[in-house]
């Protein structure tokens, strides 16, 4: 007698298709000196974080020397600085740019040679922000951020309710675990934050700039969001290849994930942003927390207004930003659809009906999709 294949066996075989596969990242977007200013939008409205800053549009930023292409480095780099020659009672001139394209998942590699960090009054950030609606809808991922004379990088997620992370799988120091900007027991808008280990001293500020910067790489999947940092001398060789492989990079400095946060529910349609703010909700509010900064002036705003020359080093020098897509996940989804179609066909052959027909399934003595 010829035996029919059990649908349970078919399902068991087909589930191998659904197992986790190492990502195979392929370059989809490359932002370099050649196309940088054509690929980003310049924000020139009032600073939403209440900073002592005047953001300039593309034309004004170029005219005033806030942006340029620096060809004196080993490879052309994008310069984005601030006004460091004049006093302005309305705030210091700066730039804030946002990518024209938004993203969902991917590997984001920021190759940064110099940052505007570690200077009293400054609040620089390289981050991803959703265009899905009123903040924090769609989420925010702060990849590189800090204020005043801070010597370490702070990585943070900002979300709506019901997102918290596990304290495992990363080398940084967990400061807050609840990503909800209104979480009880945390400062307002704080989110879930991980601090780069202070002992290294090369992740932010003058320490990072003195060694020629480095790489910040962010892996964003449905499972979690991981951030890696590599000082210039320790950049993995595969980062400069067409197919970088994060699975070979060791432990990330930050990892945001766990059963208490549905990543896909909280993060969609994110744009890449770079900006340099002054004072405001962080650098201004935390001014008195730094003995060094506090000794320079009574307030952050007064110091930033009256000391333009100290901000000559408050500039970004960016070699590139590259975004990669996991091509395997696309192939995996296609395979999954074919596998499900094959499974349904096997079920129909075994029971003599299509599993999408509730009456036929009921007549066969099985509840719908019971297996």
Assess whether 140 carries a catalytic annotation: yes
Is 140 in contact with 129 (CB distance < 8 Å)? yes
Beta strands 214-220 and 106-114: pairing type? antiparallel
Is 308 in contact with 302 (CB distance < 8 Å)? no
The single residue of 46, 75, 113, 140 carrying the catalytic annotation is 140
How far apart, in whole angstroms, are the C-alpha atoms of residue 29 and residue 123? 27
How far apart, in whole angstroms, are the C-alpha atoms of residue 187 and residue 192? 11
Neighbour-count burial for 7-16, b at 16+ CB within 10 Å, e otherwise: beebeeebee
Is 7 in contact with 348 (CB distance < 8 Å)? no
How far apart, in whole angstroms, are the C-alpha atoms of residue 42 and residue 50? 18
Burial class (CB within 10 angstroms; exposed 0-12, middle 13-18, buried 19+) of 132: middle
The single residue of 113, 145, 301, 325 carrying the catalytic annotation is 145
Is 183 in contact with 163 (CB distance < 8 Å)? no
In the block, residue with structure tokens 């050649």: 34
How far apart, in whole angstroms, are the C-alpha atoms of residue 158 and residue 189? 7
How far apart, in whole angstroms, are the C-alpha atoms of residue 241 and residue 9? 41
Rg (the chain; Cα; Å) = 25
Q: Which two tokens stand for residue 46?
A: 């009032």
Is 325 in contact with 105 (CB distance < 8 Å)? yes
Peptide bond into 136 cis (omega under 30): yes
Q: Which two tokens stand for residue 38?
A: 């054509």
Is 47 in contact with 53 (CB distance < 8 Å)? yes
- Cα dist. 81→18, 84, 99, 202, 309 in Å? 47, 9, 18, 21, 13
How far apart, in whole angstroms, are the C-alpha atoms of residue 345 and residue 342? 5
Active site residues: 140, 145
């Amino acid at each position: 007698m010829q035996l029919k294949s059990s649908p349970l066996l078919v399902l068991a075989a087909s589930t191998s298709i659904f197992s986790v596969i190492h990502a195979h990242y392929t370059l989809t977007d490359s932002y370099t000196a050649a196309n940088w200013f054509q690929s980003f939008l310049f924000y020139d409205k009032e600073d939403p974080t209440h900073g002592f800053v005047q953001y300039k549009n593309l034309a004004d930023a170029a005219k005033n020397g806030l942006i340029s292409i620096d060809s004196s480095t080993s490879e052309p780099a994008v310069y984005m600085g601030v006004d460091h020659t004049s006093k302005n009672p309305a705030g210091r001139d700066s730039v804030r740019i946002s990518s024209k394209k938004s993203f969902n998942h991917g590997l984001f590699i920021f190759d940064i040679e110099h940052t505007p960090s570690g200077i009293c009054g400054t609040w620089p950030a390289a981050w991803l922000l959703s265009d899905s609606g009123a903040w924090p809808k769609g989420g925010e991922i702060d990849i590189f951020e800090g204020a005043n004379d801070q010597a370490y990088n702070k990585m943070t997620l900002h979300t709506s309710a019901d997102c918290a992370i596990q304290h495992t799988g990363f080398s940084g120091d967990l400061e807050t675990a609840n990503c909800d900007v209104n979480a009880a027991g945390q400062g307002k808008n704080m989110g879930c934050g991980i601090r780069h280990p202070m002992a290294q001293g090369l992740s932010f500020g003058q320490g990072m700039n003195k060694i020629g910067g480095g790489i910040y790489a962010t892996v964003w999947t449905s499972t979690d969001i991981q951030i890696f940092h590599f000082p210039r001398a320790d950049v993995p060789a595969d980062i400069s290849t067409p197919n970088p492989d994060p699975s070979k990079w060791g432990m990330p400095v930050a990892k945001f994930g766990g059963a208490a946060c549905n990543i896909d529910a909280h993060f969609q349609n994110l744009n890449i942003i770079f900006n340099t703010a002054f004072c405001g909700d962080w650098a201004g509010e935390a001014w008195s927390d730094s003995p060094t900064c506090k000794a320079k002036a009574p307030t952050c705003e007064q110091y930033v207004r009256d000391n333009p020359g100290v901000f000559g080093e408050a500039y970004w020098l960016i070699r590139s930003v590259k975004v990669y897509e996991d091509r395997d996940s696309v192939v995996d989804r296609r395979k999954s659809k074919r596998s499900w179609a094959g499974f349904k066909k096997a079920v129909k052959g075994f029971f003599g009906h299509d599993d999408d027909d509730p009456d036929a399934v009921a007549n066969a003595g099985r509840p719908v999709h019971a297996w």
